[in-house]
Structure 1
Amino acid sequence: MGELHVRSVLVTGANRGIGLGLVRHFLGMPKPPQWVFAACRDPKGQRAQELQNLVSKHSNLVIIPLEVTDPASIKAAAARVAEHLGTSGLNLLINNAGIAKPNLLDNETLEDMTQIYTTNTIGPLLLGQAFLPLLKKAAQGSPGSALSCSKAAIINMSSSAGSIEELYVWDHAEVVSYRCSKAALNMLTKCQSLSYQKHGILCVALHPGWVQTDMGGSGSRKPPLTVDASVQGMLKVLSSLSEKETGTFLNWEGKVVPW
């Protein structure tokens, strides 16, 4: 299992938490990608300050404005990425942006369910559609027919909270809308894998673990994983993915998560 080698990668929700951790690790690789696209809602805002600091040190880092619930914003982001890539395609799309609200089943609302489903499930659907031409171009430009993240891949950041069999930490957090959105994201990943395999694109749902982020650490219990540990594990998994893993649901250690 070697190091992950990609020419270009786009990470959504890249201004904090796991997204920012992924960007840092890509930039810190012995052979970093030629292009690291860090997408977030407000690139010039206070919450993107760390990203802005990284840009001043890394010429291969480009911050892309992106609201994943807005089709026009997604289309504009794809156009901006295409301008930078020129004749080459995008190797790796990591749909990391996501939100959660600590709702119990009894106080779940139409508004919250809609907002969370739109961000966590519809966003990755629309991003996959918008970036498909660039992913196809990357796949066509890569030698051989075997699927891999170095060739072209969509990685959807899921959660074992969306596993219908596991119902991870239910007693700690019901987060019903979040669970439903991630279960739906898993089905989307399976559908993408079936539809996009003919284009040479690998698609996987990835559970990063319960991580010490603003979202993961909002409850009374401290999550067991640091961002660094989660990201290092996930990048190791991404480096090893092949055709047999497309359409699967894995965790940061490469273990299969039950649907």
Structure 2
Amino acid sequence: MDQALCRSVLITGANRGIGLGLVEGFLAASPCPEVVIATCRCPESAQELQKLCKQYSNIRVLPLDVVSESSIKETVKKVEDIVGEKGLNCLINNAGINVLGSLEDVTTEAMLRTFETNTVAQLMLSKAFLPLLKKAAKQSATMGCHRAAIVNMSSISASIGLAKSNDIYHTIYPYRISKAALNMLTKCLATDLKLEGILCIALHPGWIQTDMGGTKAPLKVQDAVPSIISLLAQLSEKDNGAFLDWEGKTLPW
């Protein structure tokens, strides 16, 4: 990312996995954002984030439950105090869950819980932070993460174009359907916010070895993060509303 210009970035679900990796990546970049805001449900128990707070002066760790309206409102107020009139440059909606469920055993509860966390929460977060994103968008003229952007963490498993009857994702109905809906949310946001100068993309970060991705995943967090940050640096108006992987390749919807 053009980090001299990207003053602020907020990452949800930042206590582990890809979220934590992104926080570490932004903090280690040279130059790095003026402030990296890491959110998770229980900051006091997020040991890795607490270690980073002792190493870096430009990290802020805030509590946020993405499915709680009151928590979102409280976090927005705290972020506004941090970023001030400069606004928030980049919102990375990374928090999510993966609930297993094949056609034979998927339940209504699993579907609704996953949809709430992986799709509805991203919409409500984007809506809540919109005033701060708009403030940031007024500071520059060209679209990109240096100005104002919403990055929704999606998945290649959400691609309808790539779905096959024998693919490896047939046991994760709740996850892949919620991420497919997230892709549509991204397209809606990209259309509605284009005139505001706010860029929106859906990003497949790769199949990564995390608690969610499992040990069979081919990528490690430390290998994927530099590519993701490099991709974010290069985003421009042509990418608005796109579904990209961590290497910048366009994925079929």
**TM-score, length of structure 1 as denominator length:** 0.94
1:1-259 map, 5 Å: 3-5=2-4, 6-45=6-45, 48-142=46-140, 144=141, 146-167=142-163, 170-171=167-168, 173-217=170-214, 222-259=216-253
Matched residues in 1 for 2:115 and 2:158: separation?
12
Post-superposition Cα deviations, 1:102-123, rounded to whole Å, max 9, x if no partner, equal 2111111111111110000011
Structure 1 stretch displaced more, 243-252 or 224-233: 224-233
Matched residues in 2 for 1:35 and 1:256: separation?
30
Matched residues in 2 for 1:213 and 1:160: separation?
16
Deviation at 1:171, TM superposition (A): 2.9
Percent of pairs with identical residues: 51
Matched residues in 1 for 2:197 and 2:2: separation?
21
Q: CA RMSD in A?
A: 1.4
- Is the contact made by 2:157 and 2:169 (CA closer than 8 Å) also made in structure 1? no
Matched residues in 1 for 2:247 and 2:96: separation?
21
Letter of the structure 2 residue corresponding to residue 213 of structure 1: T
Matched residues in 2 for 1:183 and 1:209: separation?
16
Deviation at 1:167, TM superposition (A): 2.6
Matched residues in 2 for 1:226 and 1:3: separation?
24
- Is the contact made by 1:9 and 1:91 (CA closer than 8 Å) also made in structure 2? yes
Matched residues in 1 for 2:170 and 2:9: separation?
32
Matched residues in 1 for 2:106 and 2:98: separation?
12
Post-superposition Cα deviations, 1:49-77, rounded to whole Å, max 9, x if no partner, equal 10011111111100110011111111111
Letter of the structure 1 residue corresponding to residue 18 of structure 2: I
**SS of residue paired to 1:156:** strand
Post-superposition Cα deviations, 1:160-206, rounded to whole Å, max 9, x if no partner, equal 10101113883365200001000000000000000111111000000
Post-superposition Cα deviations, 1:109-163, rounded to whole Å, max 9, x if no partner, equal 1111111100000111001000000000001012x2x211100000000001010
**SS of residue paired to 1:101:** coil
- Is the contact made by 2:53 and 2:60 (CA closer than 8 Å) also made in structure 1? yes
Matched residues in 1 for 2:186 and 2:52: separation?
31
Matched residues in 1 for 2:182 and 2:107: separation?
20
Letter of the structure 2 residue corresponding to residue 147 of structure 1: M
**SS of residue paired to 1:38:** strand
Structure 2 unaligned blocks of 5 or more: none
- Is the contact made by 1:3 and 1:236 (CA closer than 8 Å) also made in structure 2? no
Letter of the structure 2 residue corresponding to residue 203 of structure 1: C
Q: Which consecutive segments of 4 or more residues in structure 1 shift more than 3 A? A: 2-5
- Is the contact made by 2:3 and 2:32 (CA closer than 8 Å) also made in structure 1? no
- Is the contact made by 1:4 and 1:238 (CA closer than 8 Å) also made in structure 2? no
- Is the contact made by 2:17 and 2:211 (CA closer than 8 Å) also made in structure 1? yes
